[in-house]
């Protein structure tokens, strides 16, 4: 096989004409984990244990073992994670067709709105406004919600209060629009989960989980560096670990893009 597109891709990766951006947070014992109400079982965070480090346990080699919940750090939510998606035969980490792990990304910048209101909800009206400037959200593409939440301190990232977490996310109408009217591949966020902090009180509760996974679509949580991507044109690579009957997994999320976004300086010239 000799395909010009793949040859050009290799050339443009080698020359740097295509820029590779890492959308992944580091995994360590301080990587923030979602906390659920205390009646539910909690997910363990990331832990690492040394097997050997060029020592008596392994004189010429270094390696570790690690453990964590499937939904730790930058991670993939599979349809099988939620009750609405449990019966899809291609809905777990090992059964999703691999061609779904490479797809275009639409990046919706609501960082100013989220800075002004930690409970900010992305709506279908906001998406239609974005489409009028950037073009339609195509079927089979990702919608990534840029909030700059990944730039916050761990405490402000989770942003707990007496009445639960206060973090931005999608509205119910946003999820209905993206599943029914746009048929997207999935929805990705910079926050600890794809749903807003207060989404337990929405109807339906947790609409990103309930509606996305109910439509056999995916989630990506705890992304970073979304400010490095253009609104449209990037391609993201998102294969989760092939855990048998896995509900999701930590993963490395890599973006291929060309343009570096211009600084938003309105006072130039
Ligand atoms: C379990 C229960 C509720 C939620 C979540 C997990 C997540 O956000 C997740 O990581 O999928 S809201
Ligand atoms: Mn998750």
- pLDDT, one tens digit per residue, over 11-28 is 999 999 999 999 999 999
Residues around ligand 2, an ion, CB closer than 5 A? 71, 77
Residues of the chain with pLDDT below 50 are 266-269
pTM strictly above 0.75: yes
Residue 261 confidence (pLDDT): 56
What percent of the chain has pLDDT above 90? 95
- pLDDT, one tens digit per residue, over 77-104 is 999 999 999 999 999 999 999 999 999 9
State the catalytic residues.
81
Residue 263 confidence (pLDDT): 64
Dist. CA 194 → ligand 2 center (Å): 7
Residue-averaged pLDDT of the chain: 96
CB 146 less than 6 A from any atom of ligand 1: no
- For 180, other C-beta atoms within 10 Å of its C-beta total 10
Residue 2 confidence (pLDDT): 81
Residue 158 confidence (pLDDT): 98
What distance in Å separates the CA atoms of residue 31 and residue 158, rounded to the nearest whole number? 11
Dist. CA 6 → ligand 2 center (Å): 33
For 48-68, letters b (16+ CB in 10 Å) and e give eeeeeeeeeeeeeeeeeeeeb
- Long-range contacts made by residues 126-133, C-beta under 8 angstroms, separation at least 24? 126/174, 127/174, 127/177, 127/178, 130/106, 130/231, 133/231
Residue 268 confidence (pLDDT): 43
């Amino acid at each position: 096989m000799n395909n010009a597109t793949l040859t050009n891709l290799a050339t443009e990766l080698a020359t740097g004409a295509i820029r590779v951006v890492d959308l992944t947070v580091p995994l360590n014992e301080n990587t923030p984990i979602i906390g659920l109400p205390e009646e539910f079982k909690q997910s363990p965070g990331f832990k690492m244990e040394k097997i050997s480090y060029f020592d008596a346990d392994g004189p010429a080699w270094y390696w570790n073992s690690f453990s964590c919940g499937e939904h730790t750090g930058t991670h993939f939510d599979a349809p099988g994670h939620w009750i609405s998606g449990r019966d899809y035969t291609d809905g777990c980490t090992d059964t999703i067709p691999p061609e779904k792990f490479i797809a275009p990304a639409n990046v919706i910048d609501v960082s100013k709105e989220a800075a002004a209101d930690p409970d900010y909800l992305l709506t279908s009206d906001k998406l239609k406004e974005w489409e009028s400037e950037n073009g339609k959200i195509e079927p089979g593409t990702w919608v990534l919600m840029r909030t700059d939440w990944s730039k916050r301190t761990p405490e402000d990232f989770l942003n707990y209060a007496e009445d639960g977490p206060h973090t931005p996310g999608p509205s119910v109408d946003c999820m209905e629009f993206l599943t029914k009217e746009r048929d997207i591949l999935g929805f990705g966020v910079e926050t600890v989960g794809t749903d807003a902090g207060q989404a337990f009180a929405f109807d339906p509760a947790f609409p990103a989980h309930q509606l996305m996974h109910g439509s056999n679509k995916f989630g990506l949580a705890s992304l970073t560096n979304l400010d490095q991507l253009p609104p449209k044109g990037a391609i993201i690579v998102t294969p989760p670990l092939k855990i048998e009957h896995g509900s999701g997994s930590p993963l490395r999320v890599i973006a291929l893009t060309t343009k570096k976004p211009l600084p938003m300086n309105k006072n130039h010239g």
